[in-house]
Amino acid sequence: MNRAPLVVVGDALLDRDLDGRAERLAPDAPVPVVDDPAEQRRPGGAALAATMAAALDGRQVVLVTALAGDEPGTTLRGLLELAGVEVADLGLTGETPEKIRVRVDGRSLLRLDRGSRPGRVGPLDRTGRRALAGAGAVLVADYGRGVAAEPSVRAALAALPANLPLVWDPHPRGPAPVPGVRLATPNRSEAAGFVPQVGGDGLAAVTARARLLARRWSAAGVAVTLGSGGALLVGGDGAPLVVPAPAAGGGDPCGAGDRFAAATAGLLGDGALPSQAVAGAVAAASSFVAAGGAATVRLGAGGPAAVAPVAAAGTPLERARALIAGVRVEGGTVVATGGCFDLIHAGHVATLRSARGLGDCLVVCLNSDDSVRGLKGPERPLVPQADRVAVLEALGCVDVVVPFDERTPEAVLDHLRPDVFAKGGDYALTDLPEADLLATWGGQAVVLPYLEGRSTTQLMKEVVRRDSH
């Protein structure tokens, strides 16, 4: 790998998920009984940010952290080794913290925290200093447990070259970022806690808090993450940049902040502008959430990190696969439909809404401009592909759009393998060329009723008629 490594500095935790079934209440208390929970262990805190940068973005990563010599600490070292993350361990006197989520059908029921009292972090050693000296970018993923506050660590961060991208993901219990960070990335509630004197929760209030934090921390920029609303970036006195998140149904937000921060730091290290890095990080975090969040991180002894397929700037097909993976983690139903969608009208919208109602996500397989020309002649489409994609993705019932160049969507359907393929119009199932293909993996092709009198051809004829009068 030619890129200099991303160095992540911060507190490592061990996350454990216990996933089981709940079909009855306990006889001695009105609480659910979780049967046969399966346990999954994964890196948490700064260790999760480092793991995602290595596994999802393919980066060389060094984690500067503090681990105790207990069983959770030993487990964390092994998981980080599997992820390909090099560890510069400062040493921790005390317990390695654990967060345990008890989950039922993919949804959290209860969280248990162990090692809640922070231990004593050792000073930055030669290995940590060498890592910082060779970094292409640095991310401080602070979880308020002492690594970012350790005096030698803080001094080394403050002494980094001004041209080295430093991203600081702050924590309410942690120290303020060192002066001169390239970007600080609090979430909305953290920003409100840091600046309680600014009331309100709208974009104006978020902007005011971000500007105050940028001045207080002497930061070049502050990007406030807004959950499903994306992120707001301020830098200087100009208007804030708001990067909306792609529309997505469901998902698990656990780990989204770490995904955003890690992607931002990596992209800045690659030479991206802050606006470009924030846009890429919003896309990365949104895909990560749609795919199922931190619960999709799989680290096994059979090889390197195996993680749900998520890409910061993924192709439509990659984004669709990530969405589908997340829906299937939750046991949901994947629905797809296809068409040209040239001059989208009420008939299209009715069909798309009906299709989305058949499952838990909707992927639209869209005929590309070349495909439409092949089907309908050289004068079509009237609306170019990029605009058709934008209009479709603006509909709340559409989760992702995947263009294809063939006359029919069989190839892209074979890649995605939805549970249901829905088509609107006057078809019999035997007329749908996709029906036989769906049957090969146990999927079902269905026909949806179409609104009478609505069609692109009729709209075109009406325009010509009115122009002729």
Token representation of residue 114: 């162990």
DSSP structural state of residue 436: H
Query: What whole-number distance in Å separates Cα of residue 52 and Cα of residue 266?
Result: 11
By annotation, the residues acting in catalysis are 258
Other C-beta atoms closer than 10 Å to the C-beta of 186 total 25
The answer to whether residues 413 and 440 touch, using CB atoms and an 8 Å cutoff, is: no
The answer to whether residues 381 and 372 touch, using CB atoms and an 8 Å cutoff, is: yes
Query: What whole-number distance in Å separates Cα of residue 118 and Cα of residue 127?
Result: 23
The answer to whether residues 23 and 31 touch, using CB atoms and an 8 Å cutoff, is: no
The answer to whether residues 340 and 364 touch, using CB atoms and an 8 Å cutoff, is: no
Placement of tokens 């059908």 in the chain: 105
Enumerate residues 6+ apart whose C-beta is below 8 A from 27: none
Nearest residue to 278 via CA among 304, 249, 313: 313
Placement of tokens 């506050």 in the chain: 149
Q: How far is CA 62 from CA 7, 9, 128, in A?
A: 5, 9, 9
Q: DSSP string of 142-192?
A: --SSSTTT-HHHHHHHHTS-TTS-EEEE--TTSPPPPTT-SEE--BHHHHH
